[in-house]
Amino acid sequence: MRSLDALFASNRAWARSMTASDPTFFERLAALQAPQYLWIGCSDSRVPANQIVGLVPGELFVQRNVANLAVHTDLNFLSVLQFAVDVLGVRHAIVCGHYGCGGVGAAARGDRLGLIDNWLRHVQDVCEKHATALAAIGDERKRIDRLCELNVIEQAWNVSQTTVVLDAWKRGQDLTVHAWIYDIGDGLLRDLDVSIARPDEAAVRYAAALRALGAKP
């Protein structure tokens, strides 16, 4: 099937509904992009960033990848972060993972999936770092969910240590890094209590968040 007519029909219906509720919505959207939030999330199709926080197009700048990783050598992630911080001037960078993440689960089990195994090696690093805390959890599902939480905290730490964020703080820019997790089972977000707004508080908040989950920095 070459044609995806149903998607085009849905698009037209959506555009009509947006215009009906706000006749100038697309005119304003075309004129300016000024989001206050950067969302660094997972590619999972069940975690639609704008929808779960109730924001319309133009209000959330989004970067997604498998297992919501913030890798210091990933030029895609770094480019999005730099544009969001330096050009758009976002005030919040949110790393959001989710329970039941397939990428995190595959990394925890050591599944071999192909090329993506190299990407998920970053999650395995998190797993190995917190092996003692994870080993204390007998139930596999709960253990993987805890790894999902720990992974989000580690990625938020990574964001806070990028040159982009450190330079922004150095020049006095208002920017806070957050760590959240989403529960697909009930549609609710949970704050993992990593809100870093200055370089001098990064290590303290990072360590406290890990200890709250029974892990060590």
User: Do 4 and 73 fall into the same domain?
Assistant: no
pLDDT tens-digit readout, 154-207:
999 999 999 999 999 999 999 999 999 999 999 999 999 999 999 999 999 999
| Crossing angle for the helix pair 140-160 and 163-170, to the nearest 10 degrees | 50
Cα angle 17, 18, 22; round to 5: 120
Phi-psi region for residue 100, left (φ > 0), alpha (ψ -120 to 50) or beta? left
* In the predicted structure, residue 1 carries a pLDDT above the cut 70: no
- Domain encompassing residue 9: 1-32
User: Do 26 and 40 fall into the same domain?
Assistant: no
Which of 106, 126, 128 shows the shortest CA–CA distance to 115? 106
The whole-number pLDDT of residue 43 equals 97
Average pLDDT over residues 15-26: 94
Q: Count the domains in the chain.
A: 2
Average pLDDT over residues 64-91: 98
Average pLDDT of the chain to the nearest whole number: 96
Report if residue 39 sits inside a domain: yes
Catalytic residue among 12, 16, 28, 46: 46
Report which secondary-structure segment, H or E, holds 162: none
69 band by pLDDT with thresholds 50, 70 and 90: very high
Question: What is the pTM for the complete model shown?
Answer: 0.94
Q: What CATH number is given to the structural domain containing 191?
A: 3.40.1050.10
- Counting Cβ atoms within 10 Å, is residue 8 exposed (0-12), middle (13-18) or buried (19+)? exposed
Catalytic residue among 92, 96, 101, 143: 101
148 is catalytic: no
User: Do 132 and 196 fall into the same domain?
Assistant: yes
User: Do 78 and 14 fall into the same domain?
Assistant: no
User: Do 26 and 39 fall into the same domain?
Assistant: no
CA 185/CA 179 separation, integer angstroms: 19
